[in-house]
Amino acid sequence: MSTPTTKPAPLANSIAAQSGGATSRPAPRRAGVDVWVGGFVLLLVLLIIGYGLIFSGLSAIEILVGLVLVVAPGLLLWNRVRAERLRAEAALADLAEGHAKISAQSSSLALAKSETDRIMETVQEGLFLVDEKGIIGEYHSRALLTIFRQDEFAGYSFFNFLQRLLSEKMFNTTKDYFGLLFDPTKKEKTVLKVNPLTEIEINFSNPEGGFINRYLGFSFRRIMEGDKVARVFVAVRDITKQVELEKKLRESEKHKERQLDILLGIVHVAPAELAAFDKLVDTELDNINKTLRAEDFARIGGTNVETLRERLRVVFRSVHNIKGNAALLKLTYFQKASTEFEAKIADLLERPRLNGDDFLAIVISEAALRDDLCDLQDLREKLAGLRSFTPGGQVGTVNSQAAALSANLQQLVEEAARDLEKASTLSVDEFAVHTVSFGRVELVRDVLIQLTRNALAHSVETPAERVAAGKAPVAAITIRGIPATPEGLVGLAFRDDGRGLNLDAIRARAVSSGLLGAETTVAPEDLARFIFAPGFSTAAKAGDHSGRGMGMDIIKSKVVDEARGVLELHSTPGRFCEFRLFLPATAPTQASSSAAA
């Protein structure tokens, strides 16, 4: 049976009812009662005296003395009762006044609690108190339930709750931090500065599957009782939008910086060369994307490691080619990005085991390079109308492309020689380059870049070494045309007058790589073929110009596999190294020759 809620009667009224109906203003009634009682007593005294004089025969004095002896105790008792009644009435009045004050204070407290409840209902932060043992107090804001997606908090252990959300390391750090918060010997201002929960990432399970990612920020304040920290006030906010906005701002700033780096790196490059580089990067990235198709990795799985390694080598060749072309055009940003990309691939190639998940870093790097290419394309369009070139023909014809390639190779030789503390000249037969590269400028350019870098890194000696060997201190690199073969292949010869192939170093590297047995006898020409193996390099360490072992692999891939040509290698130790590449004559080349005739 339920009892209806009623308001209690005022305390003063209740007490008044118990004391015979006295009210909070009893003074007038007390005065009337005293007059009537006094008059009644006086009348009674007079009647007694008169009766005594008439009937007792006693004198008036005797009667009066007797009356005093009889009446005095009653009067004293009556006065005492009257005094006690007056004190009770005064106490009742004070009690009524105190009750009125309490009622007023209760009303104020009720109003204050109502306002506090409204605040706790509407505030967007999770607010609560926690004691030294980590127990959450009875009262908290409603937002706390929303932020943590939980129906109840009061009486729960804050530490147990955090343990489910934080990593072990962060949880232990947080417990240590709470120890500092409850240590009164530590200054609060100092402790608050090392708050580990200023911004933390938390994942909540999603009823629909997966997780919901949120960022929360905690702040703390001590509540003191004397010299002791009694409680800690905790405020937690969902700062996901703020963090995401800050991330977007940082990404925007980085994007602007990246665009500026790219812009500063391309202003010196002719539009045709930049367009060719754009096309090259796009082609190589498409090749990488095809190589990294997810369905192929799902099919291959982790059972065929060699297949995965071959995929990596294909990606490596593409990235190395981008790097070489970027270096040729002095596109520092793309050269650096390609170098970092290469390092990730090299790390995977050194692992004894591979699976599809290992390629995630490669996919991310490919996507980043694709973004860089998009920025390059946007900047090219913006620059298209801002600059012009000296007259002398349309930039982009085959002759001008051969001349531009020659100039770029000259730059590459100068920069690489300076980096390697060597000295070399370059002589280019531009007509021969034009003849061979007609219709495949990109392929010939890629091959000549790799040959130039390889010659300077491995064959060309330092000036001191050359002088000691009886040579001129400055090396000579020549690119010349060679007669066509009976099969109609047109060719170029790339020659340097350096030390040539170091067959001993090649053999040692082949043995250490497991490509050759230590006791196996191999002819010099067969030993020289190892330099075209993917990842094969005799360099002591990797650098900007050598050490990855992909340059020769790219040359073989371009000339033999892609163009269906022939590659020859001639070398005399201590004298020279010469590569000859023969490519099928293209239809445009034949037409061009007829037109020229």
Burial class (CB in 10 A: 0-12, 13-18, 19+), 80: exposed
Task: Please report the pLDDT score of residue 220 as a whole number.
Answer: 94
Q: Which of the 8 DSSP states describes residue 530?
A: G
- d(CA 444, CA 321) in angstroms, rounded, equals 12
Residues in a beta bridge with 55: none
pLDDT digits 0-9 by tens, 557-588: 888 888 888 999 999 999 999 999 999 876 44
Say whether pLDDT at 19 is over 50: no
pLDDT digits 0-9 by tens, 146-198: 888 888 888 888 898 888 888 889 999 999 999 999 999 999 999 999 999 99
Task: Please report the pLDDT score of residue 477 as a whole number.
Answer: 94
- d(CA 478, CA 581) in angstroms, rounded, equals 14
* Phi, psi dihedrals of residue 302, rounded to the nearest 5°: -100, 10
CA atoms within 13 A on the CB side of 65: 4
Contacts of 76 (CB under 8 A, 6+ apart): none
Contacts of 78 (CB under 8 A, 6+ apart): 37
* C-beta separation of 456 from 413 below 8 A: yes
SS3 523: coil
Say whether pLDDT at 597 is over 70: no
Task: Please report the pLDDT score of residue 24 as a whole number.
Answer: 44
- d(CA 376, CA 359) in angstroms, rounded, equals 26
User: Which CATH code for domain 398-593?
Assistant: 3.30.565.10
pLDDT digits 0-9 by tens, 346-376: 888 888 887 767 778 888 888 888 888 888 8
Quick one: fold of 126-241? Beta-Lactamase (3.30.450)
Task: Please report the pLDDT score of residue 12 as a whole number.
Answer: 39
Task: Please report the pLDDT score of residue 51 as a whole number.
Answer: 64
What residue type is 522 in one-letter code?
A: V
The 3-state secondary structure of 327-372 reads: HHCCCHHHHHHHHHHHHHHHHHHCCCCCCHHHHHHHHHHHHHHHHH
SS3 571: strand
Residue 579, Ramachandran bin (φ over 0: left; ψ between -120 and 50: alpha; else beta): beta
Q: Is the dihedral of CA 496, 498, 504, 509 positive or negative?
A: negative
User: What does the domain layout of the chain look like in residue ranges?
Assistant: 11-119, 126-241, 254-384, 398-593
Task: Please report the pLDDT score of residue 20 as a whole number.
Answer: 43
* Phi, psi dihedrals of residue 400, rounded to the nearest 5°: -70, -35
**Which tokens belong to 505?**
């170093």
Contacts of 426 (CB under 8 A, 6+ apart): 409, 410, 413, 452, 477, 478, 479
* Phi, psi dihedrals of residue 406, rounded to the nearest 5°: -60, -45
How would CATH label the architecture of 254-384? Up-down Bundle (1.20)
pTM comes to 0.54
DSSP E strands in 430-514: the ranges are 475-482, 489-496
Q: Which of the 8 DSSP states describes residue 498?
A: S
